[in-house]
A and B are shown apart, each in its own frame.
Chain A
């Protein structure tokens, strides 16, 4: 009926509006967006997932596109813009097909067919990669980062990301990477180039380091979860003082009480003390700080509870919840704990030379202002995700729109072998995929029509790896030779996520107001 057609049309146009907003961010020559949130904070980014997360879209189908971008971020970490752009193009194709009077569920089924064939084709053009092949891994990351603000540092970042992931997994057996084992610590100041990989721990907060020697070699690290301050009970307590002599006594008692604890700590042989933040009372009071630094114990306080696991894993220390449980075998070890001055005179505390068994690593992220440092953090995360997606699925495909054009052509050929309306649907699906090379060249200021037709021509002649080299601004014979490569998983998940979402949108025929 008319109403249903209208709803479908609005759904499609709302979703396409979202795709149109971010399509200019696609590719290495894509533009950034500046977003001002409701609090007036400004954010500059090129990351599709981030842009969409910040945009407060209202329309239900537009929200679905935001969701798939998020899912792509989780699954592959890259291609968050592509997935939305592809979905937008597929919806455009749907519109044309609907106008021809094809039933939405038929379109949905046809797309499913086209998707499974596309994934087959994608598999056939992907090259296997070994995790020991660091060069290829780094190239992949560099391609992913080429569109980001940090693109000029991509060589540096890709090295960090690849090293970080390879450090925390066993390349022979790993099928997934837990990115929680990579901790990104942000410290304002310096430049992006100062970002470094630390095999160990970094504490960036100025307040964290609070006494003791600035350098400890052969560190014995105690990770404690109790406080070293005046005793405090769970029940409310008052100390009643009747005269001034009692005051002196109480102070003396407190000194004694703390000296007791300090003695126990030093007795265990610990020379670096990491103290968990306590909300109920001071983690460590000044008196204890004074005692401990006199004994040559380095003190780091205000450690969040959620960081405990990471620290415990890294230095191989077992957290200690009560002074009586402090035994030498629970201490962690590291070769060096040192307060280091960075290039811009700011200080961080580094613990390095941690046991080789620790499958964790810290990245110290630098940047001259908060915006840059946040973007660098996001880019690092993307870079790590790219490496992870190679661990999950060890295949590489050429970048620069080559896989999309190849899939488009082979899919169109295959479509001709189909009968009935599916032929038309699969063909429309194939053509929709051309949006990627088209947008890439458009964003690079090239003539999209020329480029796409040329690509079609070259692919038809058998050039499977012909793609657009955006940096040089022309068509390249082999994207592999140009080192523009990306994980197969990125394209694979972009295709399946966008198709899944479009199929869902196709099936909607009504928007109902609900109570909840």
Chain B
């Protein structure tokens, strides 16, 4: 009997797969995919929109980890952390992750849209429509939607003032669905300022976010220049103007011969003392080499022992030790320095050294930090976040990061569209229009695509506690009439003008969400067989 297994319906079949491997076919496989994907989309859909809710993530299992809870509204963060044992659900999580990496926002939207597409797909499938036909229809619908989306986008990048206004609106819209919603004007300004400083380079590395508990979110601020959370060594100058910065990653603890098992044998105390002196000399030589570069600030990633510290301090060099990887990399980027670990080429000093106008100690909350202002690469800036608790701070950081990402991709792609459901409804209309000219039953699938798109404003309104069906229907009418910039006004639960309300979104985020969601849904729909490999056994030692 070992070679026969009983499948789910009770038929005896010869066993082909290895023991414990599981295969699910046809109806069952599809059911699994649909259920899994929809469960994921249902899980995150309440976080959608300005009135979306947050989730608490608690690590499973006991232990110290239990105390590290996360409170978030960010779809990608939620999806990244949940336990999943469903292949289709995994696909949705993956596209959400990709969305996060590509554009940084719309991570919830993409998962929800894919889920809604599959919900419509299931209905069609139950009407005995072949998956391939549904997919054909979806493709036509997607192209139509994308065309419509591009048609309503606009580009103000020629006019700097107008573009900045657009960016502010986008930042506000993104933040309105996050924790920072109540201080969104403040943070929108903060984020736009930070991104405009980057001057299109789009390197978020230059923006450092520092979190300090205490105070409230409104006490957060953007600081020009770079802030390092380290302290200056005792005995050095505490303030430097026009600093020449040498950023290094080199051992300054002790310089011993690193050969395994080295040891010295001596026959007198004096000999030992001489060796000690020689060791000290070795370090002194290194310091002398460093001094040849004529830095006024020496920053090292590693520890610096008292002796070399003192030698440097004696020469009036400010010393910062143990500045971490992150610290030195950003500092090097911000001040235009090169990270060095050997000091044999003082003639390259001008190339290697970074510069900045002023270095001083400032206090944030209870702690002293070092501030570098007037860095040679002017893009650098630091955002200091204050807030009631670490949960708030973490979430604030995530929200701000999302906003920064969206702004950066807007600065790159330059095209902007209206939010509040305007773009989704317009795309849905395009689908409906496209369906009219199609003869075959693909038309049904195209209409279904439109329906799924309309679900997004529906969910957003629903999350706000409004009568979603009513609002979305009146919005549909407005869109059919061709009213420009019509969308949901989430403050009053009515149809409003998105241009006046300043609800803007980045086109690229929308486009990426549309593409990713439809592709994922397509992929899941094609599946008719799920094979689970036998889990690998862990041999007991």
A residues lining the B interface (CB < 8 Å): 4, 11, 58, 60-61, 63-64, 67-68, 70-71, 74-75, 103-106, 108-109, 112, 176, 178-180, 225-226, 230-242, 246, 249-250, 253-254, 257, 276, 308-309, 312, 318-322, 325, 493, 496-497, 500-501, 503-504, 507-516
Residue from the set B51, B56, B305, B392 with the largest chain A CB neighbour count within 10 Å: B56
Across-interface contacts of A257 in B (CB, < 8 A): 269-270, 273
Across-interface contacts of A108 in B (CB, < 8 A): 182
Known: A232-B272, A249-B268. 13 other contacts (CB 8 A): A67-B390, A68-B389, A105-B53, A225-B310, A233-B272, A233-B279, A235-B275, A239-B265, A239-B268, A493-B215, A511-B57, A512-B43, A516-B81
Query: How many Å lie between the Cα of A325 and that of B59 in the bound state?
Result: 54
Query: How many Å lie between the Cα of A494 and that of B46 in the bound state?
Result: 31
Binds A, one of B64-72, B201-209, B411-419, B500-508: B64-72
A236/B234 in contact, CB under 8 A: no
Query: How many Å lie between the Cα of A250 and that of B69 in the bound state?
Result: 62
Across-interface contacts of A64 in B (CB, < 8 A): 71, 389, 391
B275/A233 in contact, CB under 8 A: yes
Residue from the set B43, B276, B313 with the largest chain A CB neighbour count within 10 Å: B276
Interchain nearest-CB distance for A308 vs B (Å): 6
B214/A74 in contact, CB under 8 A: yes
Query: How many Å lie between the Cα of A308 and that of B310 in the bound state?
Result: 13
- The residue on A at minimum CB distance from B70 is A514
A105/B388 in contact, CB under 8 A: no
A497/B60 in contact, CB under 8 A: no
Across-interface contacts of A249 in B (CB, < 8 A): 268
Query: How many Å lie between the Cα of A496 and that of B387 in the bound state?
Result: 10
Instruction: Name the one of A67, A246, A513 contacting B60, with C-beta atoms under 8 angstroms.
Output: A513
Query: How many Å lie between the Cα of A246 and that of B265 in the bound state?
Result: 15
Across-interface contacts of B214 in A (CB, < 8 A): 71, 74-75, 493
Interchain nearest-CB distance for A461 vs B (Å): 33
B268/A253 in contact, CB under 8 A: yes
Residue from the set B57, B60, B182, B389 with the largest chain A CB neighbour count within 10 Å: B389
Residue from the set A179, A234, A250, A512 with the largest chain B CB neighbour count within 10 Å: A512
Cβ of B1 within 8 Å of any chain A Cβ, yes or no, is: no
Cβ of B323 within 8 Å of any chain A Cβ, yes or no, is: no
Known contacts: A238-B265, A250-B269. The answer to whether A325 contacts B310 by CB under 8 A is yes
Contact with A along B370-405 (1 / 0, CB 8 A): 000000000000000001111110010000000000
Chain B interface helix/strand/loop/mixed: mixed
Query: How many Å lie between the Cα of A325 and that of B214 in the bound state?
Result: 43
B residues lining the A interface (CB < 8 Å): 43, 46, 50-51, 53-60, 65-71, 73, 78, 81-83, 179, 182, 213-217, 231, 234-235, 254-257, 262-273, 275-276, 279-280, 305-307, 309-311, 313-314, 363, 365-366, 368, 387-392, 395, 464-465
Across-interface contacts of A225 in B (CB, < 8 A): 306-307, 310
A504/B179 in contact, CB under 8 A: yes
B272/A322 in contact, CB under 8 A: no
Query: How many Å lie between the Cα of A268 and that of B263 in the bound state?
Result: 35
Across-interface contacts of B366 in A (CB, < 8 A): 74, 178-179
Known contacts: A504-B391, A509-B55. The answer to whether A178 contacts B270 by CB under 8 A is no
Query: How many Å lie between the Cα of A70 and that of B276 in the bound state?
Result: 48
Across-interface contacts of B387 in A (CB, < 8 A): 71, 500
Instruction: Name the one of B51, B66, B71, B391 contacting A103, with C-beta atoms under 8 angstroms.
Output: B51
Known contacts: A103-B465, A322-B280. The answer to whether A512 contacts B57 by CB under 8 A is yes
A514/B82 in contact, CB under 8 A: yes
Known contacts: A500-B392, A514-B60. The answer to whether A106 contacts B465 by CB under 8 A is yes
Query: How many Å lie between the Cα of A64 and that of B73 in the bound state?
Result: 16
- The residue on A at minimum CB distance from B51 is A105
B234/A254 in contact, CB under 8 A: no
Known contacts: A103-B51, A504-B54, A514-B60. The answer to whether A178 contacts B363 by CB under 8 A is yes
Query: How many Å lie between the Cα of A380 and that of B54 in the bound state?
Result: 39
- The residue on A at minimum CB distance from B253 is A234
Query: How many Å lie between the Cα of A4 and that of B46 in the bound state?
Result: 10
9 inter-chain pairs at a CB distance below 8 angstroms, sorted by A residue, are A11-B56, A63-B67, A75-B365, A104-B53, A238-B265, A238-B266, A239-B268, A257-B273, A321-B309
- The residue on A at minimum CB distance from B49 is A105
Interchain nearest-CB distance for A71 vs B (Å): 5
Query: How many Å lie between the Cα of A134 and that of B257 in the bound state?
Result: 61
Known contacts: A231-B272, A497-B388. The answer to whether A239 contacts B55 by CB under 8 A is no
Known contacts: A71-B213, A106-B465, A507-B73. The answer to whether A512 contacts B82 by CB under 8 A is yes
Across-interface contacts of A320 in B (CB, < 8 A): 310
- The residue on B at minimum CB distance from A102 is B465
Across-interface contacts of B217 in A (CB, < 8 A): 500
A512/B56 in contact, CB under 8 A: yes
Interchain nearest-CB distance for B36 vs A (Å): 16
Interchain nearest-CB distance for A233 vs B (Å): 5
Across-interface contacts of B465 in A (CB, < 8 A): 103, 105-106
Across-interface contacts of B81 in A (CB, < 8 A): 512, 514-516
Interchain nearest-CB distance for A275 vs B (Å): 12
Instruction: Name the one of B68, B235, B257, B280 contacting A235, with C-beta atoms under 8 angstroms.
Output: B257
Known contacts: A67-B391, A235-B257, A239-B272. The answer to whether A321 contacts B262 by CB under 8 A is no
Across-interface contacts of B78 in A (CB, < 8 A): 512
B464/A253 in contact, CB under 8 A: no
Across-interface contacts of A501 in B (CB, < 8 A): 388-389, 392
Query: How many Å lie between the Cα of A501 and that of B213 in the bound state?
Result: 13
Q: Which 9 A-B pairs have the closest CB atoms?
A: A67-B389, A514-B81, A509-B53, A103-B465, A253-B269, A321-B310, A236-B263, A321-B306, A514-B57
B53/A239 in contact, CB under 8 A: no
Across-interface contacts of A109 in B (CB, < 8 A): 182
Interchain nearest-CB distance for B229 vs A (Å): 15
Query: How many Å lie between the Cα of A254 and that of B269 in the bound state?
Result: 6
Instruction: Name the one of B43, B60, B464 contacting A515, with C-beta atoms under 8 angstroms.
Output: B60
B388/A60 in contact, CB under 8 A: no
A508/B55 in contact, CB under 8 A: yes
Across-interface contacts of B215 in A (CB, < 8 A): 75, 493
Across-interface contacts of A74 in B (CB, < 8 A): 213-214, 365-366
Across-interface contacts of A230 in B (CB, < 8 A): 269, 272
Interchain nearest-CB distance for A263 vs B (Å): 15
B58/A511 in contact, CB under 8 A: yes
Query: How many Å lie between the Cα of A276 and that of B391 in the bound state?
Result: 39
Across-interface contacts of A507 in B (CB, < 8 A): 53-54, 73, 179
A176/B213 in contact, CB under 8 A: no
Across-interface contacts of B179 in A (CB, < 8 A): 504, 507
Interchain nearest-CB distance for A395 vs B (Å): 16
